[in-house]
Amino acid sequence: MAVGDNALREAVAYYMEWVYQVSVIGAGVPAEEWNAPLFTYLLTNKQFNELKVICTRQGWPPPGRGITFFPHVIKHILTARGSKDGLTWQECAAVLAASLNARSSVAVQKIHEQQVVVLNSVEVLRVGKTREKYRGMLIVEVTINNLAPVTAYHASEAKSRAIMKNGR
């Protein structure tokens, strides 16, 4: 376990629960609070180098190093994973925290322009009704000096291997 993994998991869980409480089951918050960033994940040197290689090969703009999360992104993850997969906010937090791991790799997202996958192909998750083995995956849009999270979900081991081999 890398230094800071527990703190990252706690932060992800804290913000996932907060967004769930205020936007999914609660009455919301003022706009200035909703539009403020919650936290930024800084890519490791290895992840950043993988991303720079992808950007150079794809002809994309130079990337930034941090992935900043806003409440609307967390809400999207909660509603998408909750409605499509029946995941709880705790399971959504586990998926996101698993993808934001120092051992996660970066691969090209082939079916969407200027998107990459941050995939944890090491840590196994058991989430959802089936409790099968999954890997945490985050989709990130690459724009000039910015990395914007799009969504997060869990991928099977077979899908994880295919993505790491060929991109998604």
pLDDT band at 86 (very low <50, low <70, confident <90, very high): confident
Render pLDDT for 31-80 as a digit per residue (tens, 0 to 9).
888 889 999 999 999 999 999 999 999 898 888 899 999 999 999 999 88
b/e per residue 133-147 (b: at least 16 CB within 10 A): ebbbbbbbbbeeeeb
Percentage of the residues of the chain whose pLDDT score is greater than 90: 27
Strands (E), 9-72: 39-42, 66-69
Alpha helices in 42-145 (DSSP H): 45-58, 71-85, 89-99
Q: Quick: pLDDT tens for 130-166.
A: 777 777 888 888 987 788 888 887 777 777 777 666 6
55 contact partners, CB below 8 Å, separation of at least 6: 61, 62, 63, 142
Structural domain count of the chain? 1
Give the residue numbers spanning the domain of 129. 5-166
